[in-house]
């Protein structure tokens, strides 16, 4: 098993978990930056055919993100990945993790992005958190930016158990695929 200290792992800052999840997925610092994702979010607003109906533009709470803390939405994730030649397939949670082929070639399946519900401050604050899972040199890792270090799964069965657990808690599972040329 590879030493997890050699795995690129960004730690959580504010609500930039999508930024961290993407960089952890790509295993490279600054594959995406705050300005990159902010631009993607603004382009989504400009491309919205209903933008003329919006009476005001909030300064902090934008349509697809919070301009101070991050908190980017699924539309930013999909558009950012598309710019890098990746596509996203929403996993049907009714099928559970057993229907995900975790042994699929790394040329096809880049990794998995999870969007999990979180509750803090005794239920007073509810939000969602982005997490990347990726197979690196044959080993699946949980690259959650809230973890101190990446967590290596012992095998695909353990990955599926983890996925079934988070699905049961209300997580969304998104498969990140390399686009076919």
Q: Which residues are catalytic?
A: 17, 129, 144
Q: Please state the φ and ψ torsions of residue 20, each to the nearest 5 degrees.
A: -65, -40
Helix (H) / strand (E) element for 162: namely helix 156-168
Sign of CA dihedral 152, 159, 16, 31: positive
CA distance 43 to 45: 5
In three-state secondary structure terms, 103 is coil
Contact partners, residue 55, CB within 8 Å, separation at least 6: none
């Amino acid at each position: 098993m590879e030493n997890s200290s050699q795995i690129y792992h960004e730690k959580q800052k504010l609500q930039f978990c999508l930024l961290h999840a993407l960089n952890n997925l790509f295993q490279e610092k600054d594959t995406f930056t705050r300005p990159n994702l902010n631009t993607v979010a603004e382009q989504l607003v400009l491309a919205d055919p209903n933008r003329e109906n919006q009476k005001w533009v909030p300064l902090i709470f934008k349509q697809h993100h919070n301009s101070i803390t991050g908190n980017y939405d699924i539309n930013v994730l999909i558009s950012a990945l598309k710019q890098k030649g990746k596509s996203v397939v929403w996993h049907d949670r009714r099928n559970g993790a057993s229907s995900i082929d975790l042994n699929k070639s790394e040329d096809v399946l880049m990794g998995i992005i999870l969007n999990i519900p979180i509750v803090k401050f005794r239920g007073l604050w509810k939000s969602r958190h982005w997490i990347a899972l990726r197979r690196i040199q044959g080993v699946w890792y949980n690259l959650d930016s809230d973890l101190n270090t990446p967590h290596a799964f012992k095998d695909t069965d353990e990955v599926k158990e983890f996925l079934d657990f988070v699905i049961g808690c209300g997580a969304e599972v998104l498969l990140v695929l390399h686009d076919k040329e």
